[in-house]
Amino acid sequence: MRPKITIVGAGNVGATTAHWLAERELGDIVLVDIPQTEGMPKGKALDLMQAGPIVGYNTRLIGTTDYEPTANSDIVVITAGVPRKPGMSREDLVNVNANIIRDVISKAVPLSPNAIYIVVTNPLDTMTYLAYKLSGLPRERVIGQAGILDSARMRTFIAMELDVAVENVQAMVLGGHGDEMVPMVRFTTVAGIPISMLLPKEKIDAIVDRTRKGGGEIVSLLKTGSAYYAPGAAVAQMVEAILKDQKLIVPCSVYLQGEYGLHDICFGVPVKLGRKGVEQIIELPLNEEERAMLERSVQLIRNTMAALQPA
Ligand code: APR
């Protein structure tokens, strides 16, 4: 039997994730949205399926506004939520998106209690925390997508600066998915060469700054929503790593129980992704400066969590 991948929210990120996933034939896909969207998820699913004969994939896609077809999913990706508009921070979305997460978890989890849940809705770390708490699932199976995207942004900017292949660039962005995220310069390499040997400090600082504001840069260009091609590709990489049991090390937001000295928070750290979800959390030895940056990022998430109103 083919794996079943449910994507809740058939908007920009959801549909783009479905697109990247369909091409990889990782499983059949169920696109879910709210009843008010009427035929929209069905239309997108059909459209994506009709690309199959041209591109050469046999992925089956279903669009729906009820959860019945999602039953027994292997993976549930949650992209349901409101994206930001220019001038908004991800944190501004907290209460409207919290209610959406509550709705999605209450409907999806009873039907797919064994699935691995990937959260994309912003503010990411707080929404992952809420999904984890409400779902009652083990922490290995509720994972926030952010670090792959933030690291990909940093890798892109470095490749642009040095005029090298993006595959040569390894970078790791940790912490919360907000403007206080922590690009780990010390662990950034190009073909194994530390970035500090290739670029002067001012250039590296500028790349770090652009990475932190990478999502905002796109919001201000698009004006009507936030990024979706790269976020969708990041989710597809997580789904592939899980379904193929790749043991891929990437940064993801996970519920911490003492790792990095942190408790009761979802935070972006390097993890090993495999068929069980998060199979290991990797603790990097941090210097004082990095620890101080992580602390600022923790504070931003704690403030957002404190703004959460009860259902
Ligand atoms: N259940 C299912 N789907 C929902 C619900 C819900 N309770 N509430 C809203 N949706 C759907 C909307 O109907 C819409 O189709 O979620 C979709 C969101 O799509 P877009 O508005 O295009 O937003 P998108 O760019 O995909 O971003 C979604 O991901 O990156 C984050 O910050 C972003 O939180 C935002 C989320």
Residues 206-221 have pLDDT tens digits of: 999 999 999 999 999 9
Share of the chain above pLDDT 70, in %: 100
Tell whether the model's pLDDT for residue 173 goes beyond 90.
yes
Average pLDDT over residues 254-271: 98
Q: What percent of the chain has pLDDT over 90?
A: 95
pLDDT, average across residues 48-59: 98
The model's confidence at residue 37, banded by pLDDT at 50, 70 and 90, is: very high
> If pLDDT is split at 50, 70 and 90, which confidence band does 8 have?
very high
Active site residue 177: yes
The answer, yes or no, to whether any atom of ligand 1 lies below 6 A from the CB of 119, is: no
Query: Where along the chain do the CATH 3.90.110.10 domains lie?
Result: 147-306
CA of 79 from ligand 1 middle (Å) equals 5
Check the annotation: does 128 bind a ligand.
no
Show contacts of 214-222: CB within 8 Å, 24+ apart. 214/150, 214/153, 214/154, 215/90, 215/177, 216/179, 219/83, 219/84, 219/85, 219/86, 219/88, 220/86
- Given a cut of 90, whether residue 241 has pLDDT beyond it is yes
Q: Is 60 annotated as a binding residue?
A: no
- Ligand 1 in reach of 297 Cβ (< 6 A): no
Report yes or no: 212 and 179 within 8 Å, Cβ to Cβ. yes
Q: What is the DSSP letter of 148?
A: H
Q: According to the CATH classification, is domain 147-306 in 2.40.50.140?
A: no
Question: What CATH number has the domain spanning 4-144?
Answer: 3.40.50.720
pLDDT of 85 > 90? The answer is no
Residue with CA at minimum distance from ligand 1 atom 29:
121
Q: CA-to-CA distance for 275 and 78, rounded, in angstroms?
A: 18
* Residue 169 annotated in ligand binding: no
Over range 55-69, report the average pLDDT: 98
Q: What ipTM does the predicted assembly reach?
A: 0.99
User: Tokens in use for 282?
Assistant: 């990797």
Q: What is the pLDDT of residue 169?
A: 98
14 is in an annotated binding site: yes
Mutate to test the pocket of ligand 1, among 31, 32, 34 (most ligand atoms within 8 A of CB): 34
- pLDDT at position 56 is 98
Q: Is 34 in the pocket of ligand 1 (CB under 6 A)?
A: yes
In the predicted structure, residue 60 carries a pLDDT above the cut 90? yes
Residue intervals in the chain for CATH 3.40.50.720 = 4-144
Predicted local distance difference test score (pLDDT) of residue 182: 95
User: At what angle are helices 214-222 and 201-212 packed, to 10 degrees?
Assistant: 60
Q: With 90 as the cut, is the pLDDT of residue 310 above it?
A: no
- Residue 88, pLDDT > 90, answer no
172 C-alpha to center of ligand 1: Å?
Answer: 27
Q: Atom 27 of ligand 1 has which residue's CA nearest to it?
A: 83
Distances, alpha carbon 274 to alpha carbons 30, 59, 116, 239, 240, in Å:
22, 22, 11, 9, 9
Average pLDDT, the chain: 97
Where on the phi/psi map is residue 55: left (φ > 0), alpha (ψ -120 to 50), or beta? alpha
pLDDT at residue 5 is higher than 90 = yes
- 31 beta partners: 7, 63
Q: Determine whether the shortest distance from the Cβ of 104 to ligand 1 is under 6 A.
A: yes
Burial class (CB in 10 A: 0-12, 13-18, 19+), 39: exposed
pTM above 0.95, yes or no: yes
Average pLDDT value for residue range 45-53:
98
